Amino acid sequence: MAVLCKPAIAVPEYIITRDDTLELARQLHYDHLQLKKVLRLIEHTGVVRRHLIQPIDKVLEHPGFDARSAVYEEESKARVPDVVRRALDQAELESRDIDLIVYVSCTGFMMPALTAWLINTMGFRSETRQIPIAQLGCAAGGAAINRAHDFCRAYPDANVLLVACEFCSLCYQPTDLEVGSLLSNGLFGDAVAAAVVRGKGGTGVRLERNGSYLIPNTEDWISYAIRSTGFHFQLDKRVPGTMEPLAPALRAVAEQQHWDAGDLDFYIVHAGGPRILDDLCRFLEVPPEAFRFSRATLTEYGNIASAVVLDALARMFDEASARDGQRGLLAGFGPGITAEMALGTWSSGPAGEG
C-alpha cells in the first residue's frame, strides 16, 4: 500500500511578527473606519510570525503582475530543488525512482508548470508524469496526497513526488481594503514543502482511503478576482463557520473505513485559522491537543496555504509519537468550499519492505 513519507519544509529568511503586522496596519490604514476590528481580528489569528520571500518593504511596493510573476518563477526555481532533494532523501529514493510529480500552488502561475523544469534539471526521467494543480487553494495539499494515492492504487509499484510552493506575499494588494482582505494580510505566509508517496515500502502514513466534499453553493466564499494587478483574494465572512457542514463529511469518510472520526490517534488538517481548529474540536468531539501540529504551523508560519498539511505532518514525524497501526485523518480545506480528506495508518516498516 502507498505510504506518505516524511515531508521536507523550507520557509524563507525574511520574518514579520504579529506586532510588526499590527503596527503596519496602524500606519497604512490609520483612517480605516473598521481599523479596530481589523486589529482585533489579526490579534486573534493565533499567528505569531510569518516568513516572506522578500523584505516587507518590497512586498508593499507591488511593482505589477508581470514583475511579481518573474519573482515567482525566480524564487520557485531557487527554493524548490533543495526541498525536493530532502524529501527524496527522507523517502530513501532518487529522482529516477519517481513516476509522477504533483505540483500545487495558488500564488503564482507558470506554463509549462515548474514540473517540466524540475524534470529537466533534477534528473527525473523524461517519462515522469505531471499533474499541476493551481485552483484548489489551501485544499490542494490534501488533493496532492489523494491524487498520489489514486495513482499508486492504479500503479502499485509507482512512487509520487508532491511539491507545494506557496508565496502568498506575492498576492498582497494595497488597494484591497475590505476587512477580509486586511485580515488576510496578517494571516498568510510563504513556504515550500515536498513529500514522497511510495507505492511500496517506506515509513509514514499508509494511505487507506480518500474522499472529497464540496459544500453546495459556496464557490464565491473563497475566490480570486483576477485583474491586471494580479490575484485579488476574496474571503467571505462566513468561511470561518464552514466546519459545521464539513465535519459530517469527515465523519462519513471515516465511516466508510468503519472508523469513528472522533476517535482517531492523529489529525493532520489545514490550519486556516484558530476557529477552524476550535470548531473541529467541537464537532468531532476531540480534545484541542489533537490538532497540536496544525496549531504549531499556524503559530510559527501563519497560513501557508497548500503547504500547511505537509508541514503539520512533518511535525508529527518530528514528535516521533506515532506507533504502528495507529489511525489518523488528513484534510485540506479550500475554495469551493472543498474538503480533500484522507485516512491512513502509521507504518514504521523500513524502506524496501512491502
5, 138, 171, 281: which is the annotated catalytic residue?
Answer: 138
Q: For residue 163, which phi and psi values (nearest 5 degrees)?
A: -135, 130
Q: Which of 87-101, 189-203, 227-241, 254-268 has the least mean pLDDT?
A: 227-241
Structural domain contains residue 215: yes
Q: What is the mean pLDDT of residues 90-94?
A: 97
- Give the orientation angle of helix 114-121 with respect to helix 65-90, to 10 degrees: 50
pLDDT tens-digit profile of 237-251? 888 888 899 999 999
Together in a domain, 52 and 189? yes
Together in a domain, 166 and 249? no
Together in a domain, 308 and 225? yes
Which residue from 241, 244, 233, 108 is spatially nearest to 179, judged by alpha carbons?
233
- If you average pLDDT over every residue of the chain, what do you get? 94
Structural domain contains residue 352: no
- pLDDT of the residue at 237: 83
Tell me the HSE value of 245 on the side-chain side, using a 13 A CA sphere: 15
- Number of folded domains in the chain? 2
- pLDDT of the residue at 305: 95
Q: Dig out the grid coordinates for 310 from the structure.
A: 505537509
- pLDDT of the residue at 241: 83
Structural domain contains residue 53: yes
- pLDDT of the residue at 143: 97
Mark whether 281 is an active-site residue. no
Could you say which of 198, 221, 253 is where a domain stops? 198
Together in a domain, 178 and 232? no
- CATH number for the domain harbouring residue 225: 3.40.47.10
Q: Dig out the grid coordinates for 283 from the structure.
A: 464537532
- pLDDT of the residue at 224: 86
With cell 527554493, the residue in question is 79
Could you say which of 164, 198, 232 is where a domain stops? 198
Structural domain contains residue 354: no
pLDDT tens-digit profile of 11-60? 999 999 999 999 999 999 999 999 999 999 999 998 999 999 999 999 99
Together in a domain, 141 and 222? no
Work out the pLDDT band at 351, boundaries 50, 70, 90: very low
Together in a domain, 208 and 194? no
Q: For residue 162, which phi and psi values (nearest 5 degrees)?
A: -105, 135
Q: What is the mean pLDDT of residues 169-198?
A: 93
CA distances from 307 to 192, 279, 299 (A): 7, 21, 14
The rounded percent of the chain whose pLDDT value lies above 90 is 84
Q: Which domain holds residue 63?
A: 3-198
- pLDDT of the residue at 350: 55
Q: What is the mean pLDDT of residues 280-301?
A: 95
- pLDDT of the residue at 271: 79
Together in a domain, 131 and 268? no
Together in a domain, 51 and 192? yes
pTM of the entire predicted model: 0.94
Structural domain contains residue 70: yes
Together in a domain, 19 and 86? yes
Q: What is the mean pLDDT of residues 111-132?
A: 97
Could you say which of 147, 180, 198 is where a domain stops? 198
Structural domain contains residue 17: yes
Together in a domain, 136 and 252? no
Structural domain contains residue 279: yes
Contacts by residues 230-235 (CB-CB < 8 Å, ≥ 24 positions apart): 230/65, 230/68, 230/170, 230/171, 230/173, 231/107, 231/171, 232/171, 232/173, 232/176, 232/181, 233/171, 233/173, 233/176, 233/181, 233/184, 234/180, 234/181, 235/180, 235/181, 235/183, 235/184
Together in a domain, 180 and 46? yes
Together in a domain, 164 and 218? no
Structural domain contains residue 124: yes
